[in-house]
Structure 1
Amino acid sequence: MTSSGSSSAPRPLWQGRLLAFLGIVLVAFSLRSAVASLSPILVEVNADFAVPSWVVGLIGAAPPVCFAVFGIVTPALERRFGLERLAAASMVVAGLAMLGRALVGDAVGLLLVTTVLFAAVGVGNVVLPPLIKRYFPDRTGSMTALYSALLAVAAFVPPLVAVPIAEAAGWRISLGLWAAFAFAAIVPWVTMLAGAARTDRRAGAALAETDDDIDIDEPTPRVLGRLVGVPLAWALAASFAVSSASVYACFAWLPTVLVEHAGVSHAAAGALLALFGALGMPWSLLVPMIISRTGRVGFMYVGALVTGLAGALGMVFAPTTATILWVVLLGVPQGLFPGVLVLIQRRSRTHEGAVALSSFTQSVGYAIAAIFPLAFAILHETTGGWVAPLLVLGALFLVTIPAGYVVTRTRTIEEEWEKRSERAWT
């Protein structure tokens, strides 16, 4: 049994796992493009049929809510169907839902289809870190960097091109075209599953050799339940919540805040949202590599705290004087996201532990994050402005202080369980 940060020499990336690589890449791109492709063209959608502010708030809250719920149920689905089948099934549902979202005729239909879409994305969110651990135990840092970088690309490309495409071809084309990536993501996993079904025992042994660096245990509900008493699991969940809450609040409301509070144009607000999404790219590449090579994680907590607070306070007190700077600073805490993805693998020794920790971290983190898009809407309606929501966003980054203190201790969840058991017997 080896830790997630395997010390064995990395083997060639393509050796026996090219399809897994392609599947992870395509699923990763589909996960975030599903979220980022709607808010930039809500004005165009609203011109076709009315989309009330409460629906916009619910759509903004739908991703973390769905991710939280399906983060809880995904381990049970994984025990029944396996990681590869879940990855394929989630992309089937996501692709169909993306097409359905482009065909709806009213706000309620838009909300319902979007909810189905985010449910599928929630399953994909949970299964990708364990898939990386299964197929790339020798390259967890580089593969997580690639995975999270693709999430960043998929976060800034849709806002950048959504409005021009909507103006040229209509908002329905602008929304529906992203289904192509989800359907493409199905092919590698279905191919792998079909190939496995045709193999004889010799081919099956060769496939098993691909995974001989890790201990593949079937995750059980008992493992997930034991995480409730582990501070490390809560600290990772809190870290995930800070990143997710700030990202989804900004994806839902940043264009509106920029137009109404900072006085920028609609087109400029879309470009700044694309800039916000693009800021995840450098951190997605750097943070996993730094953690994997040095084992240090404190830097990302300090960076998130300082820049997040500065960005939120800047938007409150000087929104028109350095708007681009404030957006850039608000984008830096996205580095927590790839950092947590790496730590899910490095803070677990087994496949069972990785699935459980991924599920717990994402379900709890997204449940907390779901509050923020709705809180923005409620605070805005109550106060008639954006100062109160932005102050709450700034306060969110203070959570990195206790979370960072716990996470910087280099333990695995299995070691936490062992120490708790020893204390129980003494």
Structure 2
Amino acid sequence: MKNSRKRHAAGDEGEALLVTAVLLLALNLRGPVVAVAAVTGGIADDLRVDATTLGLFTSLPVLCFGLGAPLASVVLARLGVGRGVLLALCALGTGILVRSSGGLGTALAGTVIMGLAVSVSNVAVPMVIGHHLPRRAATVLGAYGAFINLGSMLALGITAPLERSLGWRAALAGGVGLVALASAAWWLALRGSLADTSAAADVTAGPGDVSGGWWRNPVVWGLTLSFACLAFCYLGITAWLPLVLHDRAGLSTAGAPLGSTVFQLASVLGGLGFPLLMRGPRRRVPLVLSVSAAMTVLPLGLLSAPALWTVWCAVGGAAQGSGLTLVLSLVVERARDLRENRRWSALVQGAGYLVAAPAAALIGGVHDATGGWHTPLLVITAVGLALAPAGLVAALRGHTAPAASAGGARAQART
């Protein structure tokens, strides 16, 4: 009995450490990228570049999220999840330092390294949660999504004052400190909970081995289109929200960014609160429909009643935070084993980010062509509505991961 209690306590401590490692990792997955927005003036003056070139510092990472996903899948299959993420964190820290160390070419090279490093972690997290934390998947994924947005907020809030005292290079390079903290937590988790998530565990065929046909599965493509719609709306909205609020709601240039703050805060709360609603497969359909409908509230609200922008920004942010948790939870839930989880995660996020990468440029181009925000906001509305049929395919078709999967079997053994 005592030995059983000790094993149970050790298991709980290992899970707590693993959750901590995942959340510290999440703080680094968008923060170093969006931090550039706080120092664009310093970069433009120092490197003598125009606005189009500055846009590469945020658009290149998104392209890397998509293009790097197949490579990420290979890295994780060869090295295993724990070692793969440790390598990705080392690459992320290297990219942050390289970005701050030279001229334009060096800065863009560092940005690409960062984007490829993040793509590995994007694919790895659903694998870790599905394999080691299946009973708490929705809760941990909700916190994971919330910490991604929290990392963005921290980066924007800290980088600007650092630039004023240290310059843009040191301000951006400071992000490596949080990467080091996440690396330490991940190394400790690798010694414990992650020790058995080896490459061999991933490549061993089993009942869930669907090699040769996994990419033709309607569930995978439903998830991919859902993620693409979600990412497109996020990138399209966040890139232009301050300007839309200035033009449509009459906010001042200084006050317009407040809408982005409301949006990001609501995204954090949406990610944390959504797992409370996701209890059982019967709730998949209403949740998919609710997220899709909520994603249209922000663009339609800004069209019909822009004075209520705080309400629309809050609903839109909550929809984004909830939507990310929903899609990743469905990946974890529907994949039958670690190999399928890895492949699905790579395709869903890789193809989804590639589709969504031009969102900001497309919305800006439509605005320039039409001379206003009516048509661009309707485009975002249509994409938000498209999430509903794609999400329903993912939620209703195919199979659900059996309890006999590696993660499920271990979870049952502990209960």
TM-score per shorter chain, which class? 0.7 to 0.9
Give 1:94 shift.
0.9
Aligned partners of 2:324 and 2:97: how far apart in 1? 28
Number of the residue aligned with 2:317: 331
Number of the residue aligned with 1:186: 183
- Which residues in structure 2 correspond to 1:53-68 (within 5 Å)? 53-68=51-66
User: Contact 2:269–2:318 (CA<8 Å) still a contact in 1?
Assistant: no
- Per-residue CA deviation, residues 63-85 of structure 1 (Å, 9 max, x unaligned), is 33211112222221122111111
Please state if 1:128 is matched with 2:113.
Answer: no
User: Contact 2:31–2:156 (CA<8 Å) still a contact in 1?
Assistant: no
SS at match of 1:91: helix
Aligned partners of 1:207 and 1:307: how far apart in 2? 41
After the TM superposition, which of the residue ranges 136-145 and 341-350 deviates more from structure 2? 136-145
Relative to structure 1, the CA distance from residue 141 to residue 398 in structure 2 (aligned partners, 3 Å threshold; closer, same or farther) is closer
Relative to structure 1, the CA distance from residue 51 to residue 323 in structure 2 (aligned partners, 3 Å threshold; closer, same or farther) is farther
Relative to structure 1, the CA distance from residue 408 to residue 80 in structure 2 (aligned partners, 3 Å threshold; closer, same or farther) is closer
- Give the structure-2-normalised TM-score: 0.82
User: Contact 1:219–1:355 (CA<8 Å) still a contact in 2?
Assistant: no
Residue in structure 1 matching 2:357, options 360, 367, 370: 370
Aligned partners of 1:403 and 1:219: how far apart in 2? 31
After the TM superposition, which of the residue ranges 47-56 and 343-352 deviates more from structure 2? 47-56
Give 1:362 shift.
0.8
Relative to structure 1, the CA distance from residue 164 to residue 207 in structure 2 (aligned partners, 3 Å threshold; closer, same or farther) is closer
Task: Give me the identity figure in percent.
Answer: 25
User: Contact 1:224–1:360 (CA<8 Å) still a contact in 2?
Assistant: no
Return the letter of the residue paired with 1:100: V
Residue in structure 1 matching 2:272, options 266, 285, 310: 285
Residue in structure 2 matching 1:175, options 162, 172, 175: 172
- Which residues in structure 2 correspond to 1:98-177 (within 5 Å)? 98-106=96-104, 109-177=106-174
Relative to structure 1, the CA distance from residue 21 to residue 310 in structure 2 (aligned partners, 3 Å threshold; closer, same or farther) is closer
After the TM superposition, which of the residue ranges 406-415 and 115-124 deviates more from structure 2? 406-415
SS at match of 2:28: helix
Aligned partners of 1:270 and 1:179: how far apart in 2? 26
Number of the residue aligned with 1:403: 390
Relative to structure 1, the CA distance from residue 297 to residue 169 in structure 2 (aligned partners, 3 Å threshold; closer, same or farther) is farther
Relative to structure 1, the CA distance from residue 223 to residue 67 in structure 2 (aligned partners, 3 Å threshold; closer, same or farther) is farther
Number of the residue aligned with 2:219: 232
Give 1:333 shift.
2.4
- Per-residue CA deviation, residues 304-348 of structure 1 (Å, 9 max, x unaligned), is 3333223112334554x2232332233232111011111111111
Give 1:109 shift.
4.5
- Which residues in structure 2 correspond to 1:262-273 (within 5 Å)? 262-273=249-260
Q: How many residues get paired?
A: 390
Number of the residue aligned with 2:413: none
Unpaired stretches in structure 2, ≥5 consecutive residues: 1-7, 403-415
- Give the structure-1-normalised TM-score: 0.80
After the TM superposition, which of the residue ranges 354-363 and 60-69 deviates more from structure 2? 60-69
Give 1:115 shift.
2.3
Relative to structure 1, the CA distance from residue 351 to residue 105 in structure 2 (aligned partners, 3 Å threshold; closer, same or farther) is same
Number of the residue aligned with 2:411: none
SS at match of 2:336: coil
Return the letter of the residue paired with 2:226: S
Please state if 1:76 is matched with 2:74.
Answer: yes
Aligned partners of 2:259 and 2:204: how far apart in 1? 42
Give 1:263 shift.
4.1
Number of the residue aligned with 2:231: 244
Please state if 1:356 is matched with 2:343.
Answer: yes
User: Contact 1:159–1:271 (CA<8 Å) still a contact in 2?
Assistant: no
Aligned partners of 1:386 and 1:47: how far apart in 2? 30
| RMSD over equivalenced CA pairs, Å | 3.2
Aligned partners of 1:300 and 1:159: how far apart in 2? 31
Number of the residue aligned with 1:296: 283
User: Contact 2:65–2:353 (CA<8 Å) still a contact in 1?
Assistant: yes
Number of the residue aligned with 1:424: none
Relative to structure 1, the CA distance from residue 302 to residue 174 in structure 2 (aligned partners, 3 Å threshold; closer, same or farther) is farther
Relative to structure 1, the CA distance from residue 400 to residue 11 in structure 2 (aligned partners, 3 Å threshold; closer, same or farther) is farther
Unpaired stretches in structure 1, ≥5 consecutive residues: 1-9, 197-203, 416-426
Return the letter of the residue paired with 1:156: M
- Which residues in structure 2 correspond to 1:378-393 (within 5 Å)? 378-393=365-380
Number of the residue aligned with 1:322: 308
Aligned partners of 1:96 and 1:271: how far apart in 2? 32
Give 1:353 shift.
1.5
Aligned partners of 1:263 and 1:105: how far apart in 2? 39
Number of the residue aligned with 2:293: 306
Give 1:45 shift.
3.3
User: Contact 1:98–1:175 (CA<8 Å) still a contact in 2?
Assistant: yes
Give 1:407 shift.
2.7
Give 1:30 shift.
0.7
Give 1:252 shift.
3.0
Give 1:281 shift.
1.5
